[in-house]
Amino acid sequence: MGASESKLEFKEDIFRLAGEEDIAIESQWWTRFLQLPETAEDVQALWSTTDLRSLTLNTPTDRPLPNTQTSPKKNVETLIYRTIGRLLTLQTRRVYSDPNSPIAPEVLNGVRILTRLLPYIYEAEHLHDWEEQFFWTPRKPVSYVDPKNNKSKYFDGLDETKSVSEEQRDTPLGPPLGEQLVDILINYLFFPNFTLPARKDVNGLPELKPSYIVWQSGIGANKGVGMTKENEKNAVEVLRLLLALSSRALYHAAGIVAERDNKPLTYLTTQCDRQITLNTICSLLNTVLKYNQNPWTFPIDLGGPTKDTKQPLVTSCLQFLLVLITYPVPNNGANEFRKALGRLHRAEDFQFIVEGLRQILIQPASGMFRPVQRLTSTVPPIAPETLSLFWELLQCNKRFRSYLIDTDRARDFVVLVLYYAIEAKDDPAKQGTVRMCVFILQTLSVEEKFGQKLNVPFTFHETLPAVLQIANFHGSYADFLIGHIHTLLTSSNRGLESLHPALLAIVNNIGPYVQDLQRATSSMLLNVFVSMSQPSFLLANESNHLLLVSLLDAINAILEHQYEENRRFVEVIVKSRKRFEALRDFTVDGALAEVDRMAMERKDAGEATGHRSPARPGSLDSTRAPASTRSSTLNNVPEDSAFSIGDDEEDEEEQTSNLSSPTSAPTSALDDAVPSQSRNMSEKARGKQPIGQTSFSHTTSRNTSTTSLHALHALQTSTSHQNFTPTPEWLHTFLPHLPLHTILTTINHAKEPHPRANKAEDAGAVPSATTKHAGEGGEEEAKEGKLLPGRFCFISQMLIDMVLL
């Protein structure tokens, strides 16, 4: 369609669709839309947004208001019928005088027209009922008024040459039009001379029968079909239309998407023949995993469009594959594509998957690309979708998850996943990537063997990209993982707050297995504890205490199961004993007094700077003070750096006393960590206060936290919690039940060594690295993501010894 006259004529045909009413379906004029365009750009440019919206806006004479429309123009129905009918005809019989003529141009134009039109139908709310009736009810004859005698004529919409008598006008002609369109498109994915190489039938003519075979070698096939570049381009066009047809959910409100039935996807995932299902999923998966196997062919980003002709096909395959395997069938129906993915079991298939995923994800993190780092793309364009595919594989196929961990490849993926999380954490537009990475790690962490595999020394830290390196790092994979979890927890991006429960759940799940944690890693965990145990954090909203409970459970898991193997961690806990004792002494009265004290300090700071705080002094209104008026009264508690550990108690107090807040009188970090009502109490008096022994249940709710750790020294508020006011009744629900018993018993045991404790250790009371951490059913609970219960053997022995003394 290179000539300007041809384009002008085609544009006039489009104008005629909107300007002329009820063009007859049997007119040969409709074939112009399928025969004239030569490229995808022609269809995109000539079918403008204005033209398409004018077709979906139909104002009948009896309903003059546009908002009352219930159907598009009659010509839209005819255009859809003629386009789908032509696609079916080209697939089932020879229509050209020359039987060797290629069918691709007409097929591509029909596919492109529907791809262009469907989104405008979906976005028009007034067409929802019409769309449901037109596409998803049994197909009936279509009627048109004969201008010669003003009588209605009836035709089969998919075959304009087949007329229907008036008596049969209500008789169904076949399955719904939408289902037929899905079947036609799936057949074109496996159609010779279109998406597959040319084939001849027994008469030497081009084959018109779909051939359901896997496109690429890999899973389900030892040899590929040898698709040409033209075949690949045609497959991209068909996949785009399938994606557009399945995109109905994009036009629903977020809260009701899961409740709506996406008819094309329901039909695809439940009604397709098993052979079609298996060949489709293997073709899509193999095409993605075989992409870019030669690392030196990785596309170079020079600021222009990519020259990689394979990338559009891989991207479309990956997107359509994810749509198929993640679709929740209504009424808890079985998704056959997801079932097929979950049934994979051969080791060679898993090896193929692992290598393919790794090859895509490793590109920006690979050391071999450092010489051209400024030229290569930072992140592969399909990396987010690849991470999604990896997560879905981990969830729906337990054998794959076990294979990944048993072969030690899980450690490699921990590094890769952390790279994408850290690289994207400060970009609000990439929060979805960070979430996906965290959920991948959480899914892996529920496996017992995963935690054990993390105790291997991390020996290639210096070869990692700069964004992934930890200063002065030395330790195991567990140290590396916890270090970057600390980075994500203390990130300044408030959009990551909802991930804090999942991040703490990872530490909680691997806690019973990690050994020989380094001092820096232990300090990071204590750093997070100090921030979460501040009154300003606990009283900020009604759910922040759950994060503290989760962190305490993680610390308990390490102490209960790997006490002997984590001497540095135990030492850090003991050195920080006053932090835990302060939390133990954090009573309801002290909490309320702390709120009033902080309100007074903010008021004094406001008067000193000439700005008054809107919060009332001496009341709980201070918890709702805007962030801009809050005073940093707890800045002396380190939050974004490693928690300082001295050689003894005096060194600890000496170090913390040098970190006083610039807006208040110089006080030690310890005093700020201890509630005001307990600061004048003696150590002996504090020790007499009760220790909560009831452990709070672990939670992994994604919306638990609304407070960012980078500002835990101030009272944080959010839109959903701006009216929250802490009350004594609310404080009583969790303060007496904080799981501090294990930690404080460990501290007391370390502070007061005695012969009986040593004998208990010699007798094996303290669990070794191989102590079983759970009773019957522990493995099943771990796989469900639940916390593993401890056996308090060494704590019980210490309590007996203390009583005897």
- Which of 555, 432, 554 is CA-nearest to residue 505? 554
Instruction: Point out the residues of the chain with pLDDT beneath 70.
Output: 1-5, 58-69, 293-307, 365-378, 588, 595, 598, 606-723, 751-805
- Which of 136, 123, 127, 23 is CA-nearest to residue 82? 23
- Which of 471, 555, 563 is CA-nearest to residue 516? 563
Q: Which two tokens stand for residue 470?
A: 């930890």
Q: Which helix (H) or strand (E) holds 283?
A: helix 274-289
DSSP lists the bridge partners of residue 376 as 300
Mean pLDDT of the chain, nearest integer: 77
Helix (H, G, I), strand (E, B) or coil at 550: helix
270: alpha, beta or left? (left if phi > 0; alpha if psi -120 to 50)? alpha
pLDDT tens-place string over residues 614-672:
333 322 233 233 333 333 333 333 333 332 223 333 343 333 333 223 333 333 333 33
**CB neighbour burial string for 443-482, b if at least 16 within 10 angstroms, e if fewer:** bbbbbbebbbbbbeebeeeeebbeebebeebebbbbbbbb
- Which of 178, 189, 139, 339 is CA-nearest to residue 263? 178
Work out the angle at residue 155's Cα, subtended by the Cα atoms of residues 151 and 161, and round it to the nearest 5 degrees: 115
Cα gap 162→781, rounded to integer Å: 63
Terminal alpha carbon distance of the chain: 98
- CB of 82 within 8 A of CB of 110? no
* CA contacts within 13 A on the Cβ side of 314: 21
What is residue 715's predicted lDDT score, i.e. its pLDDT? 34
Helix, strand, coil share (%) of the chain residues, nearest 5: 60, 5, 40
Cα gap 373→192, rounded to integer Å: 42
Residue ranges covered by each domain of the chain = 4-137, 516-759
Query: What is the pTM assigned to this prediction?
Result: 0.78
What is residue 614's predicted lDDT score, i.e. its pLDDT? 37
Q: Which two tokens stand for residue 154?
A: 């009836």
Alpha carbon dihedral 691, 796, 509, 486, in 10-degree steps, equals 50
What is residue 636's predicted lDDT score, i.e. its pLDDT? 35
Contacts of 492 (CB under 8 A, 6+ apart): 426, 708, 710
**Is residue 494 packed enough to be buried (19+ CB in 10 Å), middle (13-18) or exposed (0-12)?**
middle
What is residue 783's predicted lDDT score, i.e. its pLDDT? 36
Phi and psi, residue 139, nearest 5°? -70, 130
